[in-house]
Amino acid sequence: MRLADFILRDMESILAQWEAFASTLLPAAANMRSSALRDHAQQILEAVAKDLSTSQTSQAQFEKSIGQALKLTGADETAAQTHALLRARGGFDINQLAAEYRALRASVLRLWTKECQPDAAHPEDIIRFNEAIDQAIAESIAFFSAQVDQARNLLLGMLGHDMRSPLQTIQMTASYLAALNAGEKVSVAASRLIRSGVRMQALLDDMLDFNRTRLGLGVNVAPTEGDLAKQLADELDLLRAVHPDRELELDIVGDCQGVWDGRRLQQLLGNLVLNAIKYGSPDAPVRVTLTGEQAEVLLEVKNSGTAIERSTLDRIFDPLQRGPNHLDRNTDSSLGLGLYIAREIAKAHGGGIEARSDETETVFVVRLPHRQ
């Protein structure tokens, strides 16, 4: 008997074994009914049987072997994808999801070979069946991972938003204590609270911006007419006050008037300069150059120091990435999102950012149109 015919004929016995295995996947399956345990298993098996009964080219076979075949059912969302979403929402983990398919593969082949005579099995059916199951696994895992990522990002976004109110209360109280002039001990403690609050606020802002981009919303900007040179000069003055031991140079050339979100571009500059301070030579200046050209403004942040390796440079704007020696820096309290958020801010303004590095210097170049 061909495997496709066997699957359709013995569907109930296959589903019973699926259900029995799914019930062992605790704690998620503890209180699930039979229909929930069997979720979309029948549709997955019907799609596999249909695939086994359909001729395929060698190219289609190759694509399926690497999990890139066309959807088995031809629907907008396959049964394997829907099954993954429901398992994710039901509290299953990704290992349990994969285990279901592993058990399904074993039970179908065991029941089929037991039904058939040893010399009556069709080896090509086994190959096609394994390809179809692998494709279903690929679809399920992709959708499962996306659902988990989205749920995590939503949770972190809500957590970051809800933490802002108590943090603002702490900062306001610390500022009030500092203004009381109640003695050196109180003033020092209040200053420490204020500095810690500023760092925590920066971390929360980075986390919220990161979650917005992960949810497909992008960094929020509110562009208005303004002089970018003045806005970035103000930001650099603040950075000088925070890092009085470092030399921060600014050179402005040309017209830097345009439509931008000044606060966001100050954040971009701050991220780039802080990165240069952190990883550049402490005895060399950080040089910021702002050049107004006809169609765009060019922002460059340069620092001397050890050249960045090509492998690191290729992923330097990826989220949650930090320099290879960040563990040696006791003051590093970042999430590794600074350069990633800088890139997203540039993109939100219709611009872009790139980096280059050699033995002489490391340069970050930001291009921003005067008006998007």
pLDDT reported for residue 329? 44
Low-confidence ranges of the chain (pLDDT < 70): 64-76, 117-121, 157, 214-215, 320-335
Per domain, the residue ranges of the chain are 1-218, 224-369
**Based on the number of CB atoms within 10 Å of its own CB, is 164 exposed (0-12), middle (13-18) or buried (19 or more)?**
middle
pLDDT reported for residue 273? 94
pTM: 0.57
Q: Is 355 helix (H, G, I), strand (E, B) or coil?
A: strand
Cβ–Cβ under 8 Å, residues 223 and 261: yes
pLDDT reported for residue 187? 83
**Which distant-in-sequence residues (6+ apart) come within 8 Å of 24 by Cβ?**
none
pLDDT reported for residue 300? 96
With CA atoms as reference, report the closest residue to 366 among 247, 242, 228: 228
pLDDT reported for residue 367? 96
CATH superfamily of 224-369: Histidine kinase-like ATPase, C-terminal domain (3.30.565.10)
Measured between alpha carbons, how far is 128 from 75 in angstroms, rounded to an integer?
Answer: 21
pLDDT reported for residue 353? 95
